[in-house]
Chains A and B, each alone.
Chain A
Amino acid sequence: MRTDEAQIAVGALAGGAGNGEGASGGNGPDGGDGMQWPAASGSVPPRAYVTGVTMGLGAVLMFFMALVSAYIVRKGMPNSGWIALPAMPRILWLNTLVLIASSVALAQARGRFRAGDSREFRRWWGAATILGLFFLAGQIIAWRELASSGVYLATNASGSFFYLFTAAHGLHLAGGLIALVWVLRLPTRRLTLGTATEVAAMFWHFMDGLWVFLFLLLMLVR
């Protein structure tokens, strides 16, 4: 019964419960006669969600790598008229720390979860979510800081890329926040196998790492 519930939970998470809905009957042919195969019980194996999110992150990575290579090419062009940003908004350092802290909190939450302590799990998970919100708010402050120094989206190419990178990353992170809140709202018994927390955490840590990379890129390749 445990596995069934977890499958429903993750099924609902990825919006793929077309089959999962029926699994609440819980009578799928999942016995030990060599025919053990989650799909045959009418629901999707949990590992499919891990695969799906991994593939989605692959696409996200390609998207950002396209932007990054455009950045490097555009900067290196002869006659590019490249003007480096006057100064990086200082709040970005704080934002970066906040996002890393958020990832640490999320890892803590997963640890509590594995230890079976659902109260502590929720506390840490909630902390990670709030830190994520702080990060997004901080990014908006960074935009305002940059704008107040006279750099707008179309002022020069380095500014364009700065806004583009932060906006694209922020949008993805906002999607991640929705997933974090969604997991928080699930009843504990539905999280039994932990696939929902696993895929949400995968996505979140990836966005964290991606931000650190983009921040270093903007700092070092000016």
Chain B
Amino acid sequence: MSAEAEVSARTQAARQHAAAGAPRGFVRKYIFSTDHKVIGIQYYALALAAVLVGVVLSIFMRLHLAWPALHLPFVSGGVMTPEQYEALLTMHGTIMVFFVLTTAPQGAFGNYFLPIQIGAPDMAFPRLNMLSFWITLVSFLCMISAFFVPGGAPLSGWTAYAPLSALGQVTGPGEGLGQTIWLVSIGVFCIAMLLGALNFISTTIDMRAPGMSLFRMPLTVWAWFVTAILSLLSFAVLLAAVVMLLLDRTAGTSFFVPAATVVSEQLQRHSGGSPLLWEHLFWFFGHPEVYIAILPGMGVTSHLLSTFSRKPVFGYKAMVWAICAIGLLGFLVWGHHMFVSGMSPYSAFAFSLLTLSIGVPSAIKTFNWLGTLWGGKLQFTTAMLFALGFVSIFVTGGLSGLFLAQPAVDSMLHATYYVVAHFHLIMGVAALFGIFAATYFWFPKMFGRMMNERLGKLHFWCTFVGAYLIFFPMHFVGLAGGIRRYADFTAVDYLWRLQPLQRFITWAAFATAAAQIFFLWNFFWSLRRGEKAPRNPWRATTLEWITASPPPHDNFAGNYPRVYRGPYEFSVPGTAEDFLMQDVPTGPEKGARE
């Protein structure tokens, strides 16, 4: 048998094998599937359901803030009580942070595209992957059930500060069973994330195609990889904290409750615990969590700016090191959430300095994005617009972070709407723009159909302008002293004067939320009626575009790729097309050194 015939016989065998491995039957194919692509879509559906719940909760909050005496539907008693407002706030934050910003960028797109982009047939541990998703779903259903137990949802915010969260029913209606359910749900979520993270890391390290050296990985893969490392190290700490808080609540231990705590004239039986301990443990997780939400968006943005500028990413290696540096520094700055907790000014100074130093890799990324755009042949697709929007929102939200990183300034702005505006822009809206960019970019690959560009652009402009209209004025509310987490400003004169601004924000929130109908319509309409997608509609270079849309069960139908070049070879002089895909062997093999 000649060498060539032997190779083709092997390919044949591999194809048969791939076909044999594909599951049959609806349940194994679409529900209990071990296929990372199906699991990715399942995560996406979960995040979509969660974001709808989260948005509805925020609409109710904004309604109440703007018109505190308004009778609202679905609110028992008609007019919202402060406790009901706190419950909405807690669940809005929790659902958005955990079930949208953590699951969509990493669970959905990371799951779907990391294996394909490194040329692997699946994740390293497909069954573990399936398990991660189902545990996440259980956690979500558990969290939602908190609305329906006696006392309702918890009141302690997504940060669940002790002792409010540690003492049970006595501290508020939702602090009984609701808070316990919250803690169980988050504990379960931690386990799902840990299993997912170790799978992502093993896949990236050990499942890369031949030739796919680390520095030939797309920046999206780098971002998912570093995000997985952050998840692995931070969710384990949250899990420990959650276990301790649960013990404080149910077993009467005193990890977080200080001695002589009196609530509603009742002396609590706990003694000697430290609420600050909870804050430290929580924020040791909580700050990396911010980067878990935003890093994948950075990866997608780098990827898209390069593709739609038809230029290589400016400073690829600098981008990689910047992602790593942001990941590392993200673990050293948790104290900046606690400047007003009474920490030593020396600690505050150290945390402040480390926090400001994150500005350096962030600036490297921003300037490299601008460098990528510079002189490029820009194509303003919807995906590109959202990537550009990401850069804009990232810079706006990031700059207010520099102010908040100063302990002296923060002591004024802490717990005001300035902070709310800051983290919604940098963590919420920027990450959402990353999700939208990824959706418009990869929809053709995931579902085999194109999305409507005209509707997409309408959606972009409404969302982009809307996000600024909501969150930019919010900075001024904060600077004027508007306190966050308060349900009602009626009785406070200087805050009541900000009411026109609050109403404006509420109207802007309505409009922006309504504009998301363009997205939902586009998404579901395109699923069935969209134009059929070719293999590579964006003329992109990475491995997901060499395979069919949508890809077969093993991603490459047995033709596993070999990688010859880096991920962003656009407009290479002397080539027929303006892009060279990673599996194209012609031309000098570049970037082989690792």
Chain A interface, number of residues (Cβ within 8 angstroms): 57
B361 contacts partner chain A, Cβ-Cβ < 8 Å: no
B126 contacts partner chain A, Cβ-Cβ < 8 Å: yes
Taking CB atoms, residues of chain B closer than 8 Å to A81 are 259, 271-272
Instruction: Please tell me the size bucket of the interface on B.
Output: 35 or more
Digit string of B290-316 for contact with A (CB within 8 Å is 1, else 0)?
000000000000000000000000000
A67 contacts partner chain B, Cβ-Cβ < 8 Å: yes
Select B14's contact among A29, A56, A164, beta carbons within 8 Å. Answer: A29
Interface residues of A in 38-53 (CB under 8 A from B): 39-42, 44-45, 47-49, 51-52
- Complex Cα–Cα for A34 and B560 (A): 13
A35 x B232 contact (CB < 8 A): no
A62 x B253 contact (CB < 8 A): no
Select A82's contact among B122, B243, B272, beta carbons within 8 Å. Answer: B272
Interface residues of A in 166-212 (CB under 8 A from B): 168
Interface residues of A in 1-54 (CB under 8 A from B): 14-19, 21-23, 25, 27-29, 31, 33-37, 39-42, 44-45, 47-49, 51-52
Select B20's contact among A22, A47, A56, A77, beta carbons within 8 Å. Answer: A22
B236 x A55 contact (CB < 8 A): no
Taking CB atoms, residues of chain B closer than 8 Å to A42 are 14, 17-18, 21, 121, 554
B277 contacts partner chain A, Cβ-Cβ < 8 Å: yes
Interface of B is mostly: helix
B127 x A17 contact (CB < 8 A): yes
B21 x A19 contact (CB < 8 A): yes
- Complex Cα–Cα for A19 and B253 (A): 46
- Complex Cα–Cα for A157 and B234 (A): 25
A16 x B251 contact (CB < 8 A): no
A66 contacts partner chain B, Cβ-Cβ < 8 Å: yes
B387 contacts partner chain A, Cβ-Cβ < 8 Å: no
B241 x A44 contact (CB < 8 A): no
B207 x A39 contact (CB < 8 A): yes
B277 x A70 contact (CB < 8 A): yes
A59 contacts partner chain B, Cβ-Cβ < 8 Å: yes
Taking CB atoms, residues of chain A closer than 8 Å to B122 are 18-19
* A73 to chain B: closest residue by CB: B277
* A65 to chain B: closest residue by CB: B237
Taking CB atoms, residues of chain A closer than 8 Å to B16 are 25, 27
Select B273's contact among A17, A56, A74, beta carbons within 8 Å. Answer: A74
A154 contacts partner chain B, Cβ-Cβ < 8 Å: yes
Interface of A is mostly: helix
Taking CB atoms, residues of chain B closer than 8 Å to A63 are 236-237, 239-240
A157 x B273 contact (CB < 8 A): yes
A14 x B273 contact (CB < 8 A): no
B252 contacts partner chain A, Cβ-Cβ < 8 Å: yes
* B7 to chain A: closest residue by CB: A33
Select B126's contact among A19, A36, A61, beta carbons within 8 Å. Answer: A19
Digit string of A127-166 for contact with B (CB within 8 Å is 1, else 0)?
0000000000000000000000000011011001000100
Taking CB atoms, residues of chain B closer than 8 Å to A153 are 247, 251-253
Taking CB atoms, residues of chain B closer than 8 Å to A62 are 232-234, 236-237
B273 x A60 contact (CB < 8 A): no
* A14 to chain B: closest residue by CB: B125
Beyond A51-B201, A55-B198, A157-B254, whether A80 also contacts B124 by CB under 8 A is no
Taking CB atoms, residues of chain A closer than 8 Å to B18 are 42
Q: How distant is B238 from chain A, measured CB to nearest CB, in Å?
A: 8
Digit string of B243-267 for contact with A (CB within 8 Å is 1, else 0)?
1100100011111001100000000
A residues touching B (Cβ–Cβ < 8 Å)?
Answer: 14-19, 21-23, 25, 27-29, 31, 33-37, 39-42, 44-45, 47-49, 51-52, 55-56, 58-67, 70, 73-74, 77, 79-82, 153-154, 156-157, 160, 164, 168
Additional A-B contact list (18), CB under 8 Å, known A42-B554, A44-B207: A19-B126, A23-B17, A27-B14, A29-B13, A39-B120, A48-B203, A51-B201, A52-B198, A52-B201, A56-B194, A59-B198, A66-B284, A70-B240, A70-B244, A70-B281, A77-B272, A80-B274, A164-B247
Pick 6 A–B contacts, CB within 8 A, sort by A: A27-B10, A41-B17, A48-B202, A52-B198, A66-B241, A168-B243
